[in-house]
């Protein structure tokens, strides 16, 4: 059974459902309107009890009553995890539309492939942090096998001589 109460100016409708008491603000209306609202609540809840109406999963009783029995569950937004590969593919698609020279796009693609190889193409971007990115920056110092001899010398002692002087 739904009842109407007035506290200060607004009216409230109280009802019990599922062993719990629920309260809905009807608002600043005439008493007759508030009582009509309470009658409608009783009718809806009676239809639910008799099985003529069903409250959808994910919808609260108060939402169901406020929508006059027409409430629908909010569709869950399924958010795909953004991976390093997805991010780099989006980036290359955004910059490769003719705004940059072919040689620049080629270089970006090489860097992108290198990043995917070292960080992992399927690595979620949410798992990247400062340490994992710093590991990427420092990593070439550990993989000198494919580098030319002058480059290897520079990387072995980067602070021993000014860059490019060979001393």
pLDDT tens sequence for the chain (167 residues): 788 888 888 999 999 988 899 998 888 999 999 999 999 999 999 998 898 888 888 888 888 888 888 877 766 656 778 899 999 998 888 887 777 788 888 888 888 898 888 888 998 988 888 887 777 676 655 554 566 677 666 666 544 445 555 55
Give the whole-angstrom CA distance, residue 143 versus residue 152: 10
Range of the domain at 105: 88-128
Query: Which tokens in the block code for residue 109?
Result: 């693609």
From the number of C-beta atoms within 10 Å of its C-beta (0-12, 13-18, 19+), residue 11 rates as buried
Does the residue 161 lie in any domain? yes
* Contact call for residues 27 and 11 (beta carbons, < 8 A): yes
To 10 degrees, the CA torsion angle through 26, 27, 28, 32? Answer: -10
Same domain, 22 and 59: yes
Q: Which residues contact 58 (CB under 8 A, 6 or more apart)?
A: 73, 74
Number of domains in the chain: 3
Same domain? For 133 and 151 the reply is: yes
* C-beta of residue 74 within 8 angstroms of C-beta of residue 63: no
């Amino acid at each position: 059974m739904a009842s109407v109460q007035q506290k200060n100016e607004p009216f409230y409708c109280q009802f019990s459902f599922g062993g719990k008491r629920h309260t809905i603000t009807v608002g600043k209306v005439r008493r007759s309107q508030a009582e009509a609202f309470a009658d409608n609540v009783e009718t809806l809840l009676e239809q639910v009890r008799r099985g003529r109406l069903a409250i959808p999963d994910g919808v609260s009783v108060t939402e169901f009553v406020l929508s006059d029995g027409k409430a629908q569950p909010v569709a869950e937004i399924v958010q795909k995890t953004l991976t390093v590969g997805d991010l780099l593919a989006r980036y290359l698609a955004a910059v490769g539309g003719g705004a940059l020279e072919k040689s620049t796009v080629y270089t970006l693609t090489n860097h992108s492939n290198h990043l995917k190889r070292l960080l992992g193409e399927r690595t979620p971007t949410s798992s990247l942090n400062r340490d994992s990115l710093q590991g990427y920056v420092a990593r070439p110092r550990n993989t000198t096998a494919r580098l030319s001899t002058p480059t290897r010398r520079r990387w072995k002692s980067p602070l021993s001589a000014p860059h490019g002087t060979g001393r």
